[in-house]
């Protein structure tokens, strides 16, 4: 593998790693604060699943790193512009309805993305995808169940979810937007086919919204930038909290 | 959350990897049976404990009162011949 194609492969893996890490970090902010004990435990479980998946991706990204950076250095010591997660996952939790809506959109997309990656020509990527998709399958069924319940619940619960959807839908376009790196990885048989992912994602999420009596707003311009390191304003604060231990005590281990 | 808006209580039974019968593991709150199953999965089976989960509405359980302990159970205490402790169970039988 040439140095450049190794670098590109690493960037692709870092996108996957950062998505899982950042949404895991966001979900873990609920630990001890969720509206019911059972929800608290379930949310923390999901966060742990995702951080566990992030670790697998980071371990691979570390193997591919030409500067020999470790898993921890990659996860916790890069600067904001070097994080390659989509904008959706860094959006603040807001109320619980907002968190559930973010999770619902993410889970459905995540599932079809991983499904595509199980067929990757890269054996490590397909193995990690294979392992992760079992957990994500459950995430989808859990978040769908809650969205359908609350969408058809009281006027208040329906209103909160619809408002969350109105706020978050503008970040859905980036999920399946293909750029040069995606095209290159697809051509090599390594990456997922995002147009296929988009078809399945749209069909599933439209069905979900319909069942939950929710309507996705018409968005003129979909936000984008996270995949190339251009983040929204809340990302800085998230990183400050996530990185403070490694920054103040370098090489700290548990 | 105010008391009166709380979800109903469910008792959770899990059949473990090697267990033969479902065993009571605890209770939790959930709006309905489906949600109780999901919550039970998250609360009680994350360390690979379970193969099967039963959720029972706590209200559906009829329990004996602690104050009736004497009349209910004491009479059998003195009837030692009812306890199957006089047999040697051959190893091949396994769990009984």
Say what the pLDDT of residue B1 is: 43
- The DSSP string of A180-196 is HHHHHHHHTT-S--HHH
Say what the pLDDT of residue A144 is: 97
Say what the pLDDT of residue B96 is: 65
Across the range A110-135, mean pLDDT stands at 98
CATH, residue A172: 1.20.1260.10
Contacts of A150 (CB under 8 A, 6+ apart): A97, A100, A157, A158, A160, A161, A212
| pLDDT per position as a tens digit, A126-152 | 999 999 999 999 999 999 999 999 999
Which is more confident, A189 or B89? A189
Judged by CB atoms closer than 8 Å, whether chains meet at A149 and B31 is answered as: yes
| pLDDT per position as a tens digit, A196-235 | 999 999 999 999 999 999 999 999 899 999 999 999 999 9
Taking CA A146 as the corner, what is the angle to CA A142 and CA A148, rounded to the nearest 5 degrees?
A: 115
Specify the number of domains making up chain A: 1
| CA–CA distance, A51 with A137 (Å, rounded to integer) | 16
Cα–chain center distance at B9: 14
Query: What rounded mean pLDDT belongs to chain A?
Result: 96
ipTM of the complex, rounded to two decimals? 0.71
Across the range A179-197, mean pLDDT stands at 97
Q: Which residues of B touch A38 (CB under 8 A)?
A: 28-30, 39, 42-43
- Is the CB of residue A156 less than 8 Å away from at least one CB of chain B? no
Nearest-Cα distance to chain A for B19, in Å, is 25
Res A17 pLDDT > 50: yes
Domain hosting residue A148, numbered range: 3-248
- Is the CB of residue A59 less than 8 Å away from at least one CB of chain B? no
Which is more confident, B51 or A83? A83
Contact map slice: B 7-36 vs A, CB within 8 A: 7, 28-31, 34-35
pLDDT band with cut points at 50, 70 and 90 for residue B2: very low
Which is more confident, A186 or A254? A186
Say what the pLDDT of residue B18 is: 74
Say what the pLDDT of residue B4 is: 57
For chain B, the structural domain boundaries read 3-93
| CA–CA distance, A247 with A31 (Å, rounded to integer) | 23
Which residues are bridge partners to A239 per DSSP? Answer: none
Q: Does A186 map to a domain? A: yes
- For the domain spanning B3-93, the CATH number is 3.10.20.520
| pLDDT per position as a tens digit, B36-60 | 999 999 999 877 777 899 999 999 9
- Percentage of chain A beyond pLDDT 90 is 96
Q: Does A34 map to a domain? A: yes
Res B68 pLDDT > 90: no
Q: Does A98 map to a domain? A: yes
Cα–chain center distance at B77: 24
- Is the CB of residue A38 less than 8 Å away from at least one CB of chain B? yes
């Amino acid at each position: 593998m040439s140095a450049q194609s190794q670098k590109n492969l690493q960037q692709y893996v870092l996108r996957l790693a950062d998505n899982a890490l950042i949404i895991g970090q966001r979900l873990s902010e609920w630990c001890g604060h969720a509206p019911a004990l059972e929800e608290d435990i379930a949310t923390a479980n999901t966060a742990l699943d995702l951080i566990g998946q992030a670790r697998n991706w980071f371990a691979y990204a570390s193997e591919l790193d030409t500067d020999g950076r470790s898993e921890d250095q990659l996860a916790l010591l890069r600067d904001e512009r070097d994080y390659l997660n989509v904008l959706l996952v860094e959006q603040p939790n807001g109320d619980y309805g907002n968190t559930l809506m973010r999770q619902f959109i993410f889970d459905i997309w995540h599932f079809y993305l991983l499904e595509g990656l199980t067929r990757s020509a890269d054996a490590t990527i397909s193995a990690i995808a294979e392992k992760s998709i079992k957990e994500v399958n459950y995430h989808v069924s859990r978040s769908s169940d809650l969205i359908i319940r609350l969408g058809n619940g009281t006027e208040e619960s329906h209103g909160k979810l619809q408002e969350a959807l109105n706020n978050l839908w503008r970040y859905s376009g980036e999920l399946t937007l293909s750029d040069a790196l995606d095209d290159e990885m697809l051509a090599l048989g390594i990456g997922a086919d995002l147009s296929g992912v988009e078809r399945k994602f749209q069909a599933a999420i439209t069905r979900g919204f319909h069942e939950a009596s929710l309507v996705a707003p018409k968005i003129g311009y979909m936000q984008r930038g996270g995949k190339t390191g251009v983040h929204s304003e809340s990302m800085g604060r998230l990183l400050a909290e996530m990185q403070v231990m490694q920054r103040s005590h370098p090489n700290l281990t548990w | 959350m105010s008391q009166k808006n709380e979800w109903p209580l469910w008792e959770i039974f899990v059949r473990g990897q090697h267990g033969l019968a479902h065993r009571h593991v605890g209770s939790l709150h959930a709006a309905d049976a489906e949600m109780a199953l999901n919550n039970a999965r998250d609360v009680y089976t994350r360390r690979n404990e379970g193969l099967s989960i039963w959720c029972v509405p706590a209200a559906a359980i009829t329990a004996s009162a602690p104050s009736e302990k004497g009349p209910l159970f004491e009479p059998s205490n003195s009837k030692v011949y009812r306890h199957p402790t006089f047999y040697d169970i051959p190893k091949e039988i396994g769990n009984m």
